[in-house]
Amino acid sequence: MKNRRAQVLIPSVLVIPSLLIFVYLLFETTKVSREKIRQQFAADSAAFIQMGDYTNFLNRTAYVNGAFPYRIFKEIFECTYGDGAELQKTDDSGSICEYKMLYEAGNFPKAYNDPEKGQPVNLDKEPKWRIEFDATHRPGINKPHEQIQVEDELIFIRDEQASKIFIFWDPAIETYKKYAQVYSVLGTVEESQMSVFERLTEKMNFFKKSFYLNAATKECLDNPELCGNDGLTLGQPNFKKWQRGSDMKSHFIKRIKFWALHMKTGMGFGYDRVKTNPPLEMPAPGLFQLTTVSSDVLRKIGQGYQIYQTWEPGSNYFNVNLTQFANCQPYSAKPCVHATITSQCPALNTDSNNCVWPNPTPKYQTRLYP
């Protein structure tokens, strides 16, 4: 009987401590895993929220570049569908719509498959919105950021048009006023959203605040202003404030000139072809036309910003320094979590992720990868 008790007691003395060690190991592993999951969620959420500012800016700029002027000028100047006028040709060969005349002069963009005198084409299902200027008289206008050419002077109604079409001086003045008013408003809209974008990305406050709320580490609580800094500095490429003129640029025209017919004065009959002399000067910085973004910037944001956020695993029952087994080399000696955050459009693999201009397609989406 005693031998039987010994057979039970002796193994128990050996197994129970091992079982306790296993329980402690399981507890410590769970504690570390829980903290890592929390840090990963905090980094993912912060990156996704911050990238939303970039995605919103790109989509809104694409609208201002293409869809907005296309639909607005279609409504104002198109015949039958809009409020535009049919202008008779001087050789009695028929008429031309005001909208078509202005588009052919290179004044605004329209969809490549725009129906003449019909409603604006629905582009929602198109992977690429081919909205562009007539480049006959503005050969560099439909180029990307690095190649675009926007001349300082725009010829609103050309000499050859005024010689072939009955476009008179007073109606031409009213047409010019409508045109200038629309692009003035679009310029104000673009300037406002660009200014907001610059403020939101100057210090990446959305990233820091989101990480602070979700991570709640001792380091963040002790130094809120430094919370999330590793995620914004360790990996490259990373979030940064885009610079005007190099990373993004709005393009303006400084002067507008046009030709029109003016009734002859004195005893004569008929019309003289006259022009604005001198050309009409636009208030500084000029009359807005469109905004472009650097191909390099768009390519990098499409490939993804690399977020490496360090975290502290803390002490454990076994006094094991976990940082020596899970450090974030070459970025840090501490453990870290990683995320790749992108803003991608349908032109990711064809045009360096450029859906801003040309082919302004407001279909950027924020995507998160491990």
pLDDT digits (tens, 9 = 90+) for 271-314: 899 999 999 999 999 999 999 999 999 999 999 999 999 988 87
Q: Please name every residue paired with 290 in a beta bridge, in sequence order, or none if there are none.
A: 251
**11 pLDDT tier (thresholds 50, 70, 90):** low
- Report the pLDDT averaged over residues 152-162: 97
pLDDT surpassing 90 at residue 334: no
Of 3-12, 121-130, 263-272, 351-360, the range with the lowest mean pLDDT is: 3-12
- Report the pLDDT averaged over residues 239-253: 97
Cα 182 to the chain's mean position, in Å? 22
Residues contacting 117, CB < 8 A, separation 6+: 78, 79, 80, 81, 97
pLDDT of res. 217: 83
Location of structure tokens 């976990």: 322
Cα 262 to the chain's mean position, in Å? 45
Q: What is the pLDDT of residues 309-332, one digit of tens each?
A: 998 887 776 677 767 767 788 888
pLDDT of res. 280: 97
Domain ranges of the chain: 2-369
Q: What is the pLDDT of residues 178-194, one digit of tens each?
A: 999 999 999 999 999 99
pLDDT of res. 77: 97
Query: With b meaning 16 or more CB within 10 Å and e meaning fewer, what string describes 189-218?
Result: bbeebbeebbebbeebebbbbbbbebbebe
pLDDT surpassing 80 at residue 23: no
Tally of CA atoms within 13 A in the half-sphere of 23 that contains its CB: 6
What is each CA distance from 256 to 107, 176, 230, 253, 286, in whole angstroms? 10, 9, 50, 8, 10
pLDDT of res. 221: 87
Query: How far apart, in whole angstroms, are the C-alpha atoms of residue 123 and residue 128?
Result: 8
- Report the pLDDT averaged over residues 117-127: 94
Residues contacting 279, CB < 8 A, separation 6+: 153, 255, 256, 257
Query: In 203-333, which ranges are continuous DSSP H helix?
Result: 205-215, 218-222, 229-233, 295-303
Name the DSSP class of 177. H
Q: What is the pLDDT of residues 176-232, one digit of tens each?
A: 999 999 999 999 999 999 999 999 999 999 999 999 999 878 888 888 888 999 999
- For the chain, percent of residues with pLDDT exceeding 90: 76
Location of structure tokens 């296993």: 22
Residues contacting 213, CB < 8 A, separation 6+: none
